[in-house]
Structure 1
Amino acid sequence: MKVLIGANPMGLEKAMPELQAQYPELEFVHCPNRDETARYIADADIYLGWLNREIFLAAKRLRWIQSPSSGINYYLEIPELVESDVILTSARGTHGACLAESVFGMILAFTRGIRESIFRQQEHLWDNRGIRPKLVELTGSTLGIIGFGAIGRAIAKRAQAFDMRIVAVDVVPQDKPDYVAELWPLERLDDLLRSADYVVVTVPYTPQTEGMIGAAQIAQMKPTAMLVGMSRGGIIDQEALAQALREKRLAAAALDVFKPEPLPPDSELWDLENLLITPHIAGGTQFEGQHILEIFRENLERFLQGRFPLRNQIDKRQGF
């Protein structure tokens, strides 16, 4: 049985000697060049890595794909994969801490004058009187979290330390922590939007969540509120967001994810003064490879023993 580890920036292939020693009956192979993946995957049974339709169609023996990412929408855009018996598992739960930290980095960049101070630094301008009166603290403000999975819960845990009131909505609203004021079903999304000072979007991208934060939803938000997009592009309507920011119907926004990616150089989003853009980097952490390999090792053992479902196994038709 051949296990292929694709090209990746996390150094996942460094685990191969240990894995080979633990499973001598398996063949572990690393493809260092993305352009060569189709050739390497042709006789692979297990694949740890990213792929497109061309690569998937080249795989003749594939039985299980472990995504190194929490998001799996790119895999589900391959109809042959969705229709196949190939198991797909995600790295869900591995990026909670770093994404939560990024959320608060984005919020604090606005509330504590950090973003504006960086601009003034470039101008060699000491603007104490211009920046300080605008600063606000998070104490007593309301944080709304759309999608209360591992990432949403990590955000809520950190919001507690800022003495924020926390409300959340989720498709399965259960196991509410004591420090969360409200955990509602998705049908109460408008209640969250109307009450929150900061709204964070962490739902996965599925046909049901595509465009779920559009003009009508943004219009429900306070004009003093901030919107943060952290999961996948396409969930927030970027045109509606841009219009609301231009017209000052929304105070600020921060996005780490976009549709399409990379964000085109001529996108109007680049020039919005009240929008913070980061290039899909929020999932970065020195522990990323370690977290992914923990899931892969557990799933590999389960797969070989025939213990299903695997951890983070995706219902390919449901999209999560």
Structure 2
Amino acid sequence: MALQGGPLAGAVIGGLIACILFIALLLFLFRMWMQGPKCTSKVSLEGKIVVITGANTGIGKICALDMAKRGGKIIMLCRSTERGEAAAEEIRKETEAEVIFHKCDLASLASVRECAEQLNNSLPKIDILLNNAGVMMCPLTRTEDGFEMQIGTNHFGHFLLTNLLMPLLKKAAPDARIVNVSSLAHERGRMNFDDINYEKRPYGPAEAYGQSKLANVLFTRELARKGEGSGVNAYALHPGVIATELGRHLNANPVLKCMSMMFMPLVKTPEAGAQTSLYCCLEQSISDENGKYYSDCRRKEPAVQAQNDEDAKKLWQISEKLTGLAQN
């Protein structure tokens, strides 16, 4: 006999509830899958010194906390003194590790030089340099030195800092590491060496971001070539799409903000997003690899334009000139 009235309504409601629960379970499992693999290294950092840019928030802070728990001495480089000191104190209380804050504004070559001088005068070595800080999709603005903000902060600032700290990194050989946080956006990037700072061509935030992230991978490639045999290895990585402050400029565009809110439940948490950075900093199985690119805690091939050795050399030469490194 067919269901009628109350029993039929109950069956329909029960079916809808079961369907909703099933969809919720699928979304939960998909979200878990989207978080990606974890860095499983158990390596201790006792006696090691780790320098991290942009360590007061997001994946930089997660990495600082993780490596402090491993016994490392953590040097946090941040633009904001107030936020940097607060984050350092928070990590000290949780880990009882030695955590030191230094002000470093990557959008100011003078600030980078001042910070590097302080570190060279106070540290005996640097075992790991994690170039994590960055800006993303910001409107056209310029650094203190006149660089387009994204290439200036994401590349030129880190380029100068890394080179000025190289003597300390070499003192930590043969297993010193430079880890550059890039992005999948490098695949859409193109280096425009004739107008790298958008002084002639129309500005596009996404295009400029892609160029800066491509520069991170090319910089890593040339670091590896120049440092071959030095005991200082360089790694680049894509951390994943992450729910951090990095995407704050997207909120200025109503359409992008709406899309961001729709996909937010599916992106990585900062903890998940930090895993490939930690992998590149800690994983012993990649100790002999140099100049490679990683995503989801494993090696990946970067875009074709990121494997261009001539472009890597040219970017280095331009960066030397624009940052004044060639005059050191």
More helix as a share of residues: 2
TM bracket (short chain): 0.3 to 0.5
Structure ranking higher on relative contact order (CA contacts 8 Å, 6+ apart): 2
Compute the TM-score of the two structures, normalised by the length of structure 2.
Answer: 0.33
